[in-house]
Structure formats: C-alpha cells, structure tokens
Amino acid sequence: MIIVIQCKDQVGLVAYIAAILAKQQLNIISMREHVDHTENLFFMRVQVEDNDHEDAKLEQLLKRLLPEGAMVAVNPNPAKKVVVLVTKEYHCLADILIRNFFKTLGATVQCVIGNHATLQNVCERFDMPFYHIPHEGVSKEEFEQQIDAAVAKYSPDYVVLAKYMRIVPPSFVSKYPMRIVNIHHSFLPAFIGANPYRKAFERGVKLIGATAHFVSNELDEGPIITQQIVPVNHSFTVTDMVKAGQEVETSVLAQALKLVFEDRVFVSKNKTVIFS
C-alpha cells in the first residue's frame, strides 16, 4: 500500500501519521518526507504492508489529523492506464511497448495514437491498438478534437508524448493536469526548430541530453521530472549525435515514467519533489 501526502507543514506531522498507521496495525516499510521551508509545505510518501485495509477509511482518518486542505491519496490508482501519442520516431515508443509487453512498465498502455501511420506496424507487432489521426487536410481545431476524443475514450490516468511533434492545446492540458508526460532533447532553447542535432553539430557542443517533464500551457516549461546528459566530442558525426540523443531520450523517459507510476513525484508550483 502506498500513501502520499502533501499539506502545510507543522510540528509533529511525522509522529502523528506514524501513530495513526500503527493504530491501524499497518507496518511501515519505508517513509520519505521533505519540507519546503520557502512555501511551508510538507511532502510524504509512505509504503506499508498491505493488509486489505479500507483505503477510503484510512484516507479520512489522515485528513482529520492533517492541516486543512491536505491532499491525501491511499493507493492512488494502483492499476494505472496510459495512452501514448507519437509522430514518426520509434525509439521511445518501442521501449514503452516492450516494457508494457513484459509487464515491467508499472502501468498498462491502452492504445497508441499517431498523427502519421509510420509506427502502426510496430504497434501491430505487440497487438497494441493504433489510431492514425492525420493533421493534414483538416483544421487545427478539428484535428485536436479528434485527438481529444480518441484519448478520452480510454479515460487514461496519464498521457505520454513519446516524441509527439505537435503542441497540445490548453483545453487538452486542462483535462489532464500534471498527467501529461513529455520528452525533449536538452538543447532547448539553444537549438529550436528542425534539425537540432545538425545545428548542435555545427556549433560543436560537448554535451547532449534529454529532459522529461509534465506538460503545462507554457511550451516545454512544465515541472521537470528527470534529466540526463552524455558527453560528445569532435569525433561524433551528426548521425552519432542523433543516436546518442535517442538513447538518452529513451532512458530519461523510462526513468520518469517509473517515478510517476510509482507515485514518487509531487508537483509544487512549477517544481517537483521526487522520492527516488
């Protein structure tokens, strides 16, 4: 059983929470907490031995004790559902599908939606439903409505943008607040637009990397979940840099999804608190 708590900080919270769990005969396996002194906020993730305790009852017991406005979730969505959006690049999607197939993803992929049909064959190999919703020949509003409808049909807990090269509108973001995970190369904002690796190669960069973050209404400005970098040098061709970039993007997205699906990520304003 996982319990996550976010509330105003005050003296004795850890002791109070531990006492309630002990009274309910719940053995604590791990307990992580953090206090943001600037915002006076308390964050906690507790893992206890599951003894078929009633989640709603425990949640109410904790809320009665905690400061007003506390956010408490007991076993939040243990069987999480995910919809993946893609364009043409396969590397992140392939990793997600393999993890999903072997049940190591920590969630279940419901379907894949692409604005190009390029990756349909990959999905078919894993018996994964694929919806091709092209953006050509229709208005931006109509395209976005079709995407919205296709995603909504599955009522996902999270939406993953696995190199989905379209901007999601505010109306879509508002339906899944801090539940849309995106991955992008960490050249931004230095090499915006097409062919970032070509531009980076011509500039002679020495580090490339990737950032996974939650999507907000500010493009690529949402709360950061994970980041990684790898060194490159003069011997790297553009192709080498692209390959290295794809590998680090795949790794970063996989790490971010693991943290999110295990309820280890808390969002406070535009920052995250992560109990890794």
Task: Supply angle C-alpha 136, 239, 220, rounded to 5.
Answer: 50
- CA–CA distance, 178 with 215 (Å, rounded to integer): 7
Pairing verdict, β 158-161 and 81-86: parallel
Distances in whole angstroms, Cα of residue 5 to Cα of each of 19, 133, 238, 264: 15, 39, 46, 11
Residue carrying structure tokens 């006076």:
40
220 is catalytic: yes
- CA–CA distance, 124 with 130 (Å, rounded to integer): 8
CB neighbour class for 180 (10 Å; exposed up to 12, middle 13-18, buried from 19): buried
Rounded to 5 degrees, φ, ψ at 35 are -120, 125
Distances in whole angstroms, Cα of residue 1 to Cα of each of 6, 48, 49, 56, 73: 17, 5, 6, 13, 11
Active-site entry in 9, 36, 55, 220: 220
- 108 neighbors 261 (Cβ within 8 angstroms): no
Cα torsion 24, 268, 252, 87: sign: positive
Rounded to 5 degrees, φ, ψ at 59 are -60, -45
- Cis peptide leading into residue 189 (ω within 30°): yes
Catalytic machinery residues = 220
